[in-house]
Structure 1
């Protein structure tokens, strides 16, 4: 995984690089959309986010990797148009640089609070890669 660079400008998720929060929409079995606010980092042609194993979005993503991502307020209210994407669960080795990027962009929240909370609650932290679908 390359560090964020000027080549990111042409990347499919470039407009999300400076966003603090995005709304990630996953889909229930019946197709009902479920929007959730998440923190995202962009690196090259992909965007990344983390969640915990018991989260509803993780359960929905195990069944259907199709998502929509849109810029949003901290509360998850969309502020722009959504982009179709596919989510892929990362392995431990692939997640290391993503953890570093999240820690750099959100030092207190993603660098300390979220990892500690996941550990205390005995959740497994999951990292996902988003790829643009055309």
Structure 2
């Protein structure tokens, strides 16, 4: 059983993705939890999106804004959200991150690259 309680009241999680060589790359991201899945958004052209498209196996752990771990990694599988799921995720995101989340979204909208939402579903039983 995996412990998802470690993510409660956390602002950031570290998403570990993998290069073609198998080398792990960790990135801290804002996240929300919805129905046992962990959702985050990023630029569509980011390296982590390219790595996830190639290999959806990831690990996640709670962390601080600099990526310093605050818990244990759990394995999961990443997927891209549908437009309907993205609309729902944006509302939950706005509730969790408030004004900072809205400012971040506005800044993201002014960039050339679109943002995408991804979900990480833990691979093991939830505890």
Regarding TM over 0.5, the answer is yes
Shift of 1:120: 1.0
1:64-83 paired onto structure 2 within 5 Å: 64-83=55-74
For 2:100 and 2:17, the matched residues in 1 are separated by 23
Q: Which of the two has greater strand per residue? A: 2
Per-residue deviation, 1:14 = 4.1
Identify the match of residue 14 of structure 2 among 23, 27, 50: 23
2:70 is paired with a residue whose SS is coil
Q: Per the alignment, in what secondary structure is the counterpart of residue 15 of structure 1? A: helix
RMSD between aligned residues: 1.6
Question: Is 1:132 paired with 2:122?
Answer: yes
Gaps of 5+ in 2: none
Contact map agreement 1:51 1:127 (CA 8 A) in 2: yes
1:7 maps to what in 2?
A: none
Find the residue that maps to 2:118 and give its secondary structure: strand
Q: In 1, are the aligned partners of 2:6 and 2:71 still within 8 Å (CA)? A: no
Asked if 1:99 is matched to 2:90, the reply is yes
Q: Does 1:60 align with 2:51?
A: yes
Q: TM-score normalised to the size of structure 1?
A: 0.85
> What is the distance in 2 between the residues matched to 1:88 and 1:14?
22
Between the aligned partners of 2:40 and 2:99, the Cα distance in structure 1 is 16
Query: Closer, same or farther in 2 for the Cα pair 1:72/1:22, shift >3 Å?
Result: same
Q: Would you say 1:90 and 2:81 are equivalent positions?
A: yes
Unaligned 5+ segments in structure 1 are 1-10
